[in-house]
Structure 1
């Protein structure tokens, strides 16, 4: 007759560890989205309802937490690109990806900081090149094959456009949160081969004063 080894509690501890990791990531997403990457691990732990020591057991420092969160967000963008590729209309699929990914950046100050500063998210950048890049390329090819997207546009052109839209989102954050949509409309009109007339721009421009103040804030934030 065999006897069952007593439960040493390892599995519940592993489940608890994974639960705390998820709580930390979800709290970090909210805190960094609101305050940017200047937020501290103490703030993240408080939002998660955990002790700082518990957070440090899951992530060695804030950089490790930002890396994990950025990698997770890149995976979400990959899912967004996959969904866009199933749209029966290749142009609509491409436009929906550009809109959806830009909206995520505009609403998430931490994600925008990670992309714009280039100081964080090395694992996420590698993942973007390996996983997101080919998916974006597939969207480009579909839209070009349908005749809707300019034949001379490349996936790297769209990555550059997405980064400029992040800057527009940063500049318009206070005066016009939808400012990035105005520039997305301009880009889409320039990318499309067939349109009867210029599309209405969905947000107003910034005034000279608003742009000047936003530029100063942007440069101060970037050091």
Structure 2
């Protein structure tokens, strides 16, 4: 009787801890997306609706939490790549993943910063990256073999092009959060062959005033501290 009553509480605590960890990681994902890495564990606790001590019991410091969130993002990318690879149309498979990757990075400030922050810990994510790489390579190879993209395009180019688009998204975000979609379409048009239809440019370019405003937001004048 006594052993039964003492065994139950730990099971409940483990379940509570698992739920709290899910809430903490979900809150961190939202905050990193909106604010990048310039947040604290106190911010995460407030967003998750838990005490700060609960966060510290699950994650000793912010880098541990960042690592957990980053790994989940990589898993999301792996699933998106595999789903796109299942598209029977080689060109549309490439477009689907390219659009998904650009949208994910363009609307998630923290992810790009995290990739740099955790660049010194490649082994932690090797398994997920090894899962992503074959799908991306297969998507590119299939599109190339079908004559949909230029023969010189490689998987390495693909990742570089995604980062080009998302770098512009970060630049333009203070003035226009949708403008990156124009340059995503321009990029896809740049690697396609005449065998596939051009992507329409559904978004207008930045105006001169928007460019100047975006430059001011990302590049403050010398001697002027950027507000956070």
Q: TM-score range by the shorter chain?
A: 0.7 to 0.9
Per the alignment, residue 149 of structure 1 pairs with 149
Cα distance in 2 between the residues matched to 1:196 and 1:58: 50
Contact 1:95 1:188 in 2 (8 A): yes
Per the alignment, residue 101 of structure 2 pairs with 101
Per the alignment, residue 213 of structure 1 pairs with 213
Cα distance in 1 between the residues matched to 2:180 and 2:192: 18
Ranges in structure 1 where 5+ consecutive residues have no aligned partner: none
1:24 Cα deviation after fit: 0.3
Per the alignment, residue 18 of structure 1 pairs with 18
CA separation of 1:173/1:199 partners in 2, compared to 1, >3 Å: closer, same or farther?
same
Secondary structure in structure 2 of the residue aligned to 1:178: coil
Is 150-159 or 167-176 further displaced after alignment?
A: 167-176
Per the alignment, residue 36 of structure 1 pairs with 36
CA RMSD of aligned residues (A): 2.2
Secondary structure in structure 2 of the residue aligned to 1:181: helix
1:68 Cα deviation after fit: 0.7
Ranges in structure 2 where 5+ consecutive residues have no aligned partner: 221-225
Secondary structure in structure 2 of the residue aligned to 1:176: coil
Is 118-127 or 105-114 further displaced after alignment?
A: 118-127
Cα distance in 1 between the residues matched to 2:125 and 2:195: 35
1:25-174 counterparts in 2 under 5 A? 25-115=25-115, 118-120=116-118, 122=121, 126-127=126-127, 129-174=129-174
Cα distance in 2 between the residues matched to 1:195 and 1:25: 44
1:5 Cα deviation after fit: 4.4
1:163 Cα deviation after fit: 0.8
Secondary structure in structure 1 of the residue aligned to 2:117: coil
Per the alignment, residue 223 of structure 2 pairs with none
Render the CA deviation track for 1:37-71: whole Å, top value 9, x for unaligned: 10111011001011111101111111111111011
Contact 1:74 1:127 in 2 (8 A): no
TM-score by length of 1: 0.88
Is 186-195 or 210-219 further displaced after alignment?
A: 210-219
Cα distance in 1 between the residues matched to 2:211 and 2:205: 9
Contact 2:74 2:129 in 1 (8 A): no
Contact 2:175 2:213 in 1 (8 A): no
Aligned pairs, number: 217
TM-score by length of 2: 0.86
Is 18-27 or 103-112 further displaced after alignment?
A: 103-112
1:127 Cα deviation after fit: 4.9
